Amino acid sequence: MSLTVDFKGKTVVVVGGTSGINRGIAELFARHGARVAVASRKEAKVTDTVAALEGHGAEAMGFVADVRDLDAVEAGLKSVHEAWGDFDVLVSGAAGNFPASLNGMSANAFRSVVEIDLIGTVHVMKASYPYLKKPGASVVNISAPQAFLPMPGQSHVSAAKAGVDMITRTLAIEWGRDGIRVNSVVPGPIGGTEGMARLAPTPDAIEKVAASVPLNRLGTPDDIGHACMYLSSDMGAYVSGAVLPVDGGWAQSGCGGMGAFLGKLVAQLEGR
Ligand code: NAP
Ligand code: COA
């Protein structure tokens, strides 16, 4: 068997793929020959990303959908299937986050994040299943360290992403007989992203987070994309149900005291 990271002729769908890490993942697959579809809520972001993907020489398309809306997700994925046929790779990474204690947020605020991150992932999984018939089909869910490490101000994200990882592990079993592999990638702190801007809102905070990573730097969208490519290539053919941190060792160090930092940030935001 020849091992390859050439995705020529492969169909890759990245839900939530129009900014930050997920857009980086979409662009990396495009740069490696895949035809790539992206989806998110904002039409302008979808259009801009499709143009960028085409700029890499890739065939590209996109659709607008809020992952909380199963009908919209189904319709969008159907349109990709009608254009290109079954999917080789599905990346599901739509998410929302803001720092707030449970007491400092409404029930609807908690529900919003759970509905985007967790229920949205369920919608994407259910709507994609009929199109994951290709040999070697690979699903990668984008998780977060909050899934296994509690941090003040992140109860909504922790609950949602822990659920995402359990979906990954359950579907690895349920879908294994269909030849579908299902894995989670857990990014560490990734520079220049919305997620970082929300949790480390000043240059000083960003610098401290970077210094707290054992490898002494923030990650890049390409770092995460490379992991998605590995998992979705022949090299990952026997990997399923993995929850893979891609974080320069950050999780091993308790995420470098991020919990204590967020505790102070949330207290300040909430005037305590
Ligand atoms: P981002 O740029 O805000 O990316 C989120 C993406 O999801 C965007 O394309 C956004 O586009 C889309 N989206 C948000 N809500 C949606 C909804 N309801 N329906 C459909 N699409 C929706 O954030 P990011 O920081 O790069 O994070 C990307 C992923 O990595 C997330 O899953 C996050 O939890 C994970 N992560 C990030 C970090 C980090 O350091 N940044 C660390 C660990 C894990 P629209 O606004 O157009 O909908
Ligand atoms: N602190 C406390 N509550 C907050 C909040 C904050 N910083 N930001 C939003 N909320 C609450 C809102 O007040 C609302 O609750 P309410 O109806 O009881 O008033 C609830 O959360 C939903 O907010 P809304 O703006 O109506 O939701 P939305 O669906 O338009 O947006 C979010 C979803 C809130 C997650 C928004 O931040 C978002 O779209 N994020 C995507 C980008 C992102 O977070 N990227 C980082 C990914 S890691």
Calpha distance 141→182 (Å, rounded) = 8
Is residue 28 in some structural domain? Answer: yes
The atom number, within ligand 1, closest to the CA of 93 reads: 32
At which residue do the structure tokens 């990396």 appear? 28
Domain range holding 180?
11-269
Query: How many A from CA of 82 to the centre of ligand 1?
Result: 26
- Residues whose CB is less than 8 angstroms from the CB of residue 183 and which lie 6 or more positions away in sequence, other chains included: 138, 139, 140, 141, 168, 172, 231, 236, 239, 240, 241, 242, 243, 244
Alpha-carbon span 258 to 238, nearest angstrom: 34
pTM score of the predicted model:
0.98
> How far does the chain reach from its first CA to its final CA, in angstroms?
60
* Domain-located, residue 6: no
Q: What is the pLDDT of residue 48?
A: 98
The confidence score (pLDDT) of residue 5 equals: 76
pLDDT digits (tens, 9 = 90+) for 56-82: 999 999 999 999 999 999 999 999 999
The per-residue pLDDT for 245 is 98
Asked whether residue 88 is assigned to any structural domain, the reply reads yes
Q: Is 154 in the pocket of ligand 1 (CB under 6 A)?
A: no
Question: Is residue 148 included in any domain, yes or no?
Answer: yes
1-49 pLDDT tens trace: 566 678 999 999 999 999 999 999 999 999 999 999 999 999 999 999 9
In a domain, 239, yes or no: yes
Distance, CA 1 to ligand 1 centroid (Å)? Answer: 36
95 lines ligand 1 (CB under 6 A): yes
Q: What is the pLDDT of residue 22?
A: 98
Task: Give the residue whose CA is nearest to atom 11 of ligand 2.
Answer: 109
Q: What is the pLDDT of residue 235?
A: 94
Flag whether 230 is in a domain. yes
Tally of domains in the chain = 1
**Residue at 1 is within a domain:** no
Q: Kindly report the protein residue whose alpha carbon is nearest to atom 25 of ligand 1.
A: 195
Q: Domain containing 40 — which CATH number?
A: 3.40.50.720
Low-confidence ranges of the chain (pLDDT < 70): 1-4
- pLDDT computed for residue 162 by the predictor: 99
Is the residue at 159 inside a domain? yes
